[in-house]
Structure 1
Amino acid sequence: MIKAVIVDDESLARRGLQLRLKQFDDIEVIAECCNGKEALQAVAEHQPQLMFLDIQMPGMDGFDVVKSMQGDNMPLVIFVTAFDQYAIEAFEVHAVDYVLKPVEEERLEQALVRARDYLQKEDAISDKKRLMDLITHITGQHPTDLNTDLKADSPAKAYPEKIAIKDRGEISFVKTQDIEWVEAAGDYMCIHANGEVHVLRSTLKQLEGQLNPTHFQRIHRSTIVNMDCVEKVCSHINSEYFLVLKGGARLKMSRSYKDKIKHFL
């Protein structure tokens, strides 16, 4: 089941969408919210996989809700609104889809197909981790260790000691060893280093390729952490964990990446 939350300040709109979603057996609406504050509380409490989010709401609008959610527990977002002028901005914050009111059943089904595709990609990552565990169980070695002999004759990849960041015509350099953690925010990366946040236009995959995996590991689809900065590991619900860094940052490690880094902890 895909756990979903409906966020709309109009009760009739929430009710209508919930009725349409009942025809889909794999969608479970676990909360209805009438404003942005309730939406953030619902995400923190229920950890839904999908959110149907109105844009124009009093106080905190739909875009404010997206910007306020932490990247490590952010559900997939389908905007549901009566206004089409926000479509470009919606996809800039990486919405799964943008559905206009009144919601047509065919259009809603198309949006759900896209959401399922996103979630299945995450499941594929989990399947790969289970396969790696099986290899470890059979051989007594971690899969990365099995490749050691194959890579022994290959030259080691050189990783940059500094990351160049362009800002308003200036270029500053951040030492990779000073980077504590990185969080994706759309097409930009928020690099946390020495108590400061540097914004880099890049994808998480591109930046990950520049960081030495001996020290930097992905712990979530939107988060990379410097393992040397991890001070404490705290268990959480649903077999998830929080990593507490030396600087005080508290990052959630998703189940998909738990097995990948457990040999570092």
Structure 2
Amino acid sequence: MIRALLVDDEKHAREELVALLEATGEFELLPACANALEALRSIRKFQPQVLFLDIAMPVVDGFALLSMIDSELMPHVVFVTAYDDYALQSFEEKTLDYLLKPVAPERLAKTVGKLKELLGNNAEPRHRLPELKRIPCLKGKRIKLIAPEDIDYVRSDASGIHLHTEDGSFFTELTLRVLARSPQLLQCHKQYLVNIEKIDEISLLEGGLGEILTHGGTRLPVSRRYLRQLKQALGL
């Protein structure tokens, strides 16, 4: 059985696709998700082998969701959408397939055949990940989208991942590994990322360590592991 996750903001569309997938007898269906944040949690928890993903979703669309998934957890992706003008972009992202709503059973059967062949050959998903342009953060009952260039630094602790900006601190469910894909954010310590444009100065300490002073006056640790990479990025 193929472990599959459906992500679609429309309940009726989810129910229709669930019925079609169940009829094939090929899938172990995980609880369907109505938005990208639910999907991220489910991917981390259940590690699906394939993602049936709607594209046009509010707040965070399907393409943006791909940029937020850890590479180690990336499933094969089948886009499912009512808009056929997304077809070219989906193929450019190297997704497994593209299904147009309403999904025809015979068309789904071809997708299932492709998927079984890939999984049978232990083929890894080969997606060209989109650039991470906005980071969804939880603030009370709101979702705030923050651009990487607006971040001063990122801190990881026991409570999770926190983005620090001029407007305050925000919690995100994205991992440091995903956030570090952004060219603006450099890892300086196992628990910290720093915006390269927000660095005011770097102090070199004993033992190959360092310390960053940001323009906002915050001091961040630099570990031996990342000091050389940081200096290279700054042309030092």
TM-score range, shorter chain: 0.5 to 0.7
Amino acid at match of 1:186: R
CA contact (8 A) 1:54 1:62 kept: yes
Q: Any conservation in 1 of the 2:10–2:34 contact (CA below 8 Å)?
A: yes
Q: Which has the higher helix share?
A: 1
Does the CA contact (< 8 Å) of 1:8 and 1:14 recur in 2? yes
Change (3 A) 1:17 1:185: closer
Q: Secondary structure at the match of 1:23?
A: helix
Judged with a 3 Å threshold, the aligned counterparts in structure 2 of structure 1 residues 44 and 106 are, in CA distance, closer, same or farther, namely: same
Give the C-alpha shift of residue 26 in structure 1.
Answer: 2.2
Q: Give runs of aligned pairs for residues 41-56 of structure 1, distance below 5 A.
A: 41-56=41-56
Segments of 4+ moved more than 3 angstroms: 195-198
Q: Cα offset for 1:185?
A: 5.7
Deviations 1:195-245 (A, max 9, x none): 9988xxxxxxxxxxxxxxxxxxxxxxxxxxxxxxxxxxxxxxxxxxxxxxx
Distance 1:121 1:5, change over 3 A: same
8 Å CA contact retained: 2:6, 2:52: yes
CA distance in 1, matches of 2:31, 2:76: 15
Q: Deviations over 1:16-72 (max 9, x none)?
A: 000111112221111200001111111001000011000000000000111111111
Aligned-pair CA distance for 1:15: 0.4
- 8 Å contact from structure 1 (residues 71, 185) kept in 2: no
Q: 1:104 to 1:197 in 2, by over 3 A?
A: closer
Where in structure 2 are the equivalents of 1:54-65 lying within 5 Å? 54-65=54-65
CA distance in 1: counterparts of 2:30 and 2:181, whole angstroms: 37
Structure 2 equivalent of residue 120 of structure 1:
120
Q: CA deviation at 1:115?
A: 1.1
Aligned length: 138
Shift of 1:186: 2.3
1:250 corresponds to: none
Give the drift of 1:122.
Answer: 0.6
User: What are the ranges of 5 or more consecutive residues in structure 2 without an aligned counterpart?
Assistant: 131-176, 184-224, 227-236
Match of 1:107 in 2: 107
Structure 1 alignment gaps of length 5 or more: 126-183, 199-245, 248-265
Equivalent residue runs for 1:57-206 within 5 Å: 57-122=57-122, 186=128
Cα distance between partner residues in 1 of 2:129 and 2:53: 21
Identity across aligned pairs (percent)?
Answer: 38
**For residue 160 of structure 2, what is the aligned residue in structure 1?**
none
TM-score (norm 1): 0.48
**Contact 2:67–2:129 (CA<8 Å) still a contact in 1?**
no
For residues 2 and 102 of structure 1, what CA distance do their matches in structure 2 show? Answer: 22
Asked if the contact 2:7–2:39 (Cα under 8 Å) also holds between the matched residues in 1, the reply is: yes
Aligned CA-pair RMSD: 2.9
* Deviation digits for residues 131-185 of structure 1 (CA, Å, limit 9, x no counterpart): xxxxxxxxxxxxxxxxxxxxxxxxxxxxxxxxxxxxxxxxxxxxxxxxxxxxx76
Closer, same or farther: CA 20–67 of 1 in aligned 2, 3 Å = same
Report the residue type matching 2:3 in the other structure: K
Query: 1:94: Cα distance to partner?
Result: 1.3
1:197–1:58 CA distance, 2 compared to 1 (3 A): closer
